[in-house]
């Protein structure tokens, strides 16, 4: 009987260990696919990882400092507050979010104001006022909905702008999971409209 209990315990430990390994493998494949997508879009390598004080996951081209991580948390806190105000409940945890910090493709906008942005293919913005000759400059870009992931450019100052970008990109993700009608209406800025969407 004692041998049977030991055997069952061993089998149980093996099964739990195997399931944990399989889950970790699946997670690693999912993370790798997301990283590959971010690298394909930005042409950057995300060699550094971090976690914000509140638990959001970060991949970056350089090690993010505490100001950056706190600005991300503030943006998510603002997002969660306005989402709850609108009676949304899904994807309101910091750990739901994976954020990529890319190299900026420009440092200033047309008015010469500090504006680190990333260049992406014009796609549906082709021919619009945003079209810079086959590409547009974006403050941020949603990468995936499961997990909630987006990318924005590295900042060395004006971390309030970082918080705003985080909140605004997060709006698309919250809407996708909570209000698909409003998401479909506001996801494409080439049709007009902007941020903030949630008030």
> Residue with structure tokens 């079209």?
131
Neighbours of 33 (CB within 10 A): 11
Q: Is 77 helix (H, G, I), strand (E, B) or coil?
A: helix
Q: What is the pLDDT of residues 12-31, one digit of tens each?
A: 444 444 333 333 343 476 68
d(CA 72, CA 160): 9
Domain architecture of the chain: domains with CATH: 42-191 (3.40.30)
Q: What predicted TM-score, i.e. pTM, was given to this entire model?
A: 0.81
Mean predicted confidence (pLDDT) in 117-138: 69
Q: Name the token pair of 42.
A: 């930005």
Supply the DSSP symbol for 198.
-
pLDDT of 45-90, one tens digit each? 999 999 999 999 999 999 999 999 999 999 999 999 999 999 999 9
SS (H, E, C) 135-189: EEEECEEEEEECCEEEEEECCCCCHHHHHHHHHHHHHHHHHHHHCHHHHHHHCCH
Report the relative pairing of strands 140-145 and 135-138 from DSSP bridges.
unpaired
Give the model's pLDDT for residue 196: 85
pLDDT averaged over the chain?
Answer: 84
The tens digit of pLDDT for each residue in 5-16 reads 444 454 444 444
Q: What is the pLDDT of residues 167-180, one digit of tens each?
A: 999 999 999 999 99
Share of the chain above pLDDT 90, in %: 65
What token pair was written down for 151?
């990318």
Task: Average the pLDDT over each of 21-35, 136-150, 159-173 and give the range with the smallest value.
Answer: 21-35
What per-residue confidence (pLDDT) applies to 127?
58
Residue among 160, 162, 142, 164 nearest 151 (CA): 142
Indicate the helix (H) or strand (E) that contains 31. Answer: helix 2-42
pLDDT value, residue 123: 64
Strand partners, 138: 118
How far, in Å, CA of 51 to CA of 148, rounded?
15
Q: Report d(CA 75, CA 58) in Å as an integer.
A: 14
Examine the pLDDT at 134 and tell me if it is beyond 70. no
């Amino acid at each position: 009987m004692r041998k049977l209990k030991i055997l069952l315990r061993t089998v149980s430990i093996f099964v739990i260990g195997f399931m944990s390994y399989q889950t970790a493998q699946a997670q690693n494949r999912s993370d790798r696919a997301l990283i590959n997508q971010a690298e394909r879009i930005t042409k950057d390598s995300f060699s550094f990882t971090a976690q914000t004080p509140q638990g959001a996951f970060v991949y970056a081209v350089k090690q993010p400092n505490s100001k950056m991580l706190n600005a991300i948390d503030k943006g998510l806190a603002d997002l969660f507050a306005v989402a709850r105000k609108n009676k949304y409940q899904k994807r309101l945890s910091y750990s739901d979010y994976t954020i990529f910090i890319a190299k900026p493709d420009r440092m200033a906008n047309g008015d010469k104001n500090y504006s680190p942005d990333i260049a992406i293919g014009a796609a549906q913005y082709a021919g619009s006022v945003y079209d810079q000759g086959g590409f547009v400059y974006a403050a941020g870009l949603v990468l995936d909905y499961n997990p909630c992931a987006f990318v924005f450019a590295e900042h060395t100052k004006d971390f309030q702008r970082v918080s705003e970008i985080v909140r605004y990109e997060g709006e698309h993700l919250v809407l996708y999971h909570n209000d698909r009608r409003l998401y479909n209406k506001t996801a494409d800025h080439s049709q007009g409209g902007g941020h903030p969407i949630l008030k």
